[in-house]
């Protein structure tokens, strides 16, 4: 086998591979014999027809293609390995010259990994602002805990206020026509934390049990339903019940109920520890992000447009799939976000960022001989199992059915190892946050 390389634009490499005549002829004969085993040729049992008869029946071109398909996987792999090509796309055959009895010439096109020039990524000295615990964080945490254990009690002697829950029937209309899906019976609406149309809950405040009335609202311009966005609507309302949220008393009995605490002081101490641990996690995340951003920004890489285009299509497919799960129409979303060109420009920015991140991580891993070990993947599998509430064997089964998923998980595991390396080989100081300047009026 003889291989000649031709370097083209955008990291494209053409390989002219010449396979000796005898090897090509052997592959051709085997291909003819293989084809004869599953085609019906009058007068011959399957697999017994002479080559000339098979050629006449199916055509020589089909046999040549079969022969090339059997030869090329091993041949291309060997050519790539011998020439030390770092290939990032599936090789494709662009042309071939195959005449039985002569050398077979096949042109194969591949795309190689863009060259990455790393900047400084070790021995850096960075400063990251602290994420201090807010003065009222402990109080808010306790309030949230009390709210989680609050009870709802019926109110009969006053109208609803903005902290109540109102149990209502509602029916919506736009231009006199009922809104599809715009009705509900005995719906408990938290008037203080409503995710309904802006202005909906506010107009129920001040109403009493058994009141029947209409409210007027306008659907937001960014509403996901194209027919309703920006449209004025009328909703008929009937209040069945009003419920007041009653918070439990903060005492030792409450502390004992919500956890392994004896007193309120024990509970408060646990909240302090939780807030401090949260602060440390945030500082750790910010440290890793700032360090990684510094390293990425310092690296230089020329990313081919074809590579960016593939990543954009991949991002678009993922985006469409997520929207479908949420019941959001893709075309409507595209219109609401400024059209296809604007959306693809945004996706392109994300694609460039993702590609550069991946290339720099791989470059550092190669430079520092950072390699994945079985335990690294096992840790990722365990994380996925816990995240989705699945048995680990079920996760492995899904990965086995989707090879791309394994590649994604492997890249995530490598990312983690490189991040750990960067943290261990650089100095990051946590400093007090800068004071915000107060503008004078």
What's the CA gap between 428 and 421, in Å, rounded? 13
Residue 440 has pLDDT above 60, yes or no: no
Residue-by-residue DSSP string for 193-251: S--SSTTTGGGTTT--TT-EEEEEEE--TT-S-TTTTT-EEEEEEEEEEEEEEEPPP-S
Average the pLDDT over 7-33 and give the result: 92
- Tally Cβ neighbours within 10 Å of residue 148: 10
CB 26 within 8 A of CB 51: no
For residues 298 and 118, the answer to whether their CB atoms sit within 8 Å is: yes
Lowest mean pLDDT among 237-246, 382-391, 396-405: 396-405
**pLDDT at position 154:** 95
pLDDT tens profile 125-134: 999 999 999 9
What's the mean per-residue pLDDT of the chain? 90
Q: Above 90 in pLDDT, residue 256?
A: yes
pLDDT at 339: 67
DSSP letters for 34-50? HHHTSS--TTS-TT-S-
Phi/psi of residue 354, each to 5°? -65, -45
- Where is pLDDT greater, at 88 or 119? 119
Say yes or no to pLDDT of 118 above 90: yes
In this prediction, residue 226 carries a pLDDT of: 77
**Average pLDDT of the segment spanning 338-348:** 78
Query: Domains (ranges, CATH) in the chain?
Result: 2-113 (3.30.70.1050), 151-246 (3.10.50.40), 264-431 (1.10.3120.10)
pLDDT at res. 392: 80
Look at 83-87, 215-219, 298-302, 397-401 and tell me which has the smallest mean pLDDT.
397-401
* Full-model pTM: 0.70
pLDDT at 397: 82
Backbone angles phi, psi at 338, to 5 degrees: 95, 15
Which of 6-20, 50-64, 65-79 is the least confident region? 50-64
* High-pLDDT (> 70) share of the chain, %: 97
User: What pLDDT, on the 0 to 100 scale, is given for residue 436?
Assistant: 62
pLDDT the model gives residue 437: 55
3-state secondary structure of 98: coil
Q: What's the pLDDT score for residue 198? A: 92
Element (H, E) at 141: helix 137-148
Do β-strands 104-111 and 92-97 pair in parallel, antiparallel, or remain unpaired? antiparallel
Q: Is pLDDT of 441 > 60?
A: no
Would you say 399 and 405 are in contact if contact means Cβ atoms under 8 Å apart? Answer: yes
């Amino acid at each position: 086998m003889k291989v000649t390389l031709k370097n083209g634009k955008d990291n494209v490499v053409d390989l002219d591979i010449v396979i000796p005549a005898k090897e090509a002829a052997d592959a051709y004969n085997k291909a003819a014999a293989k084809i004869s085993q599953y085609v019906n040729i009058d007068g011959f049992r399957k697999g017994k027809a002479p080559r000339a008869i098979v050629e006449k029946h199916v055509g020589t071109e089909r046999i040549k293609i079969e022969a090339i398909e059997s030869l090329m996987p091993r041949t291309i792999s060997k050519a790539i390995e011998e020439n030390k090509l770092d290939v990032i796309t599936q090789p494709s055959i662009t042309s071939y010259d195959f005449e039985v009895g002569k050398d077979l010439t096949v042109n194969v096109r591949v795309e190689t990994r863009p060259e990455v020039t790393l900047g400084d990524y070790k021995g850096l000295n960075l400063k990251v602002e602290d994420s201090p615990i807010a003065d009222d964080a402990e109080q808010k945490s306790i309030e949230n805990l009390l709210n989680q254990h609050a009870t709802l009690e019926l109110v009969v002697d006053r109208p609803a206020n903005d902290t109540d829950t109102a149990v209502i029937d509602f029916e919506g209309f736009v231009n006199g026509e009922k809104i599809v899906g715009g009705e509900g019976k005995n719906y408990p609406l938290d008037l203080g934390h409503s995710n309904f149309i802006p202005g909906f809950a506010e107009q129920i405040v001040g109403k009493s049990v058994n009141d029947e009335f209409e409210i007027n609202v306008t659907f937001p311009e960014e509403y996901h339903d194209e027919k309703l966005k920006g449209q004025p609507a009328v909703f008929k309302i009937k209040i069945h019940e009003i419920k007041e949220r009653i918070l439990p008393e903060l005492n030792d009995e409450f502390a004992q109920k919500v956890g392994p605490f004896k007193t309120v002081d024990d509970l408060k101490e646990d909240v302090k520890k939780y807030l401090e641990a949260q602060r440390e996690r945030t500082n750790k995340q910010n440290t890793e992000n700032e360090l990684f951003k510094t390293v990425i920004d310092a690296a230089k890489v020329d990313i081919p447009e074809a590579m960016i285009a593939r990543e954009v299509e991949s991002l678009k497919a993922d985006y469409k799939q997520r929207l479908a799960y949420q019941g959001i129409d893709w075309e409507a979303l595209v219109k609401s976000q400024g059209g296809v060109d604007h959306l693809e420009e945004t996706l392109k920015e994300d694609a460039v960022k993702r590609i550069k991140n991946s290339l720099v991580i791989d470059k550092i891993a190669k430079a520092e001989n950072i390699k994945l070990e079985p335990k690294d993947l096992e840790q990722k599998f365990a994380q996925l199992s816990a995240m989705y509430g699945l048995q680990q064997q079920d996760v492995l089964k899904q990965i086995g059915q989707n090879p791309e998923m394994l590649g994604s998980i492997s890249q995530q595991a490598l990312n983690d190892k490189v991040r750990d390396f960067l943290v261990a080989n650089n100095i990051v100081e946590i400093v007090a946050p800068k004071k915000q300047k107060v503008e004078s009026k």
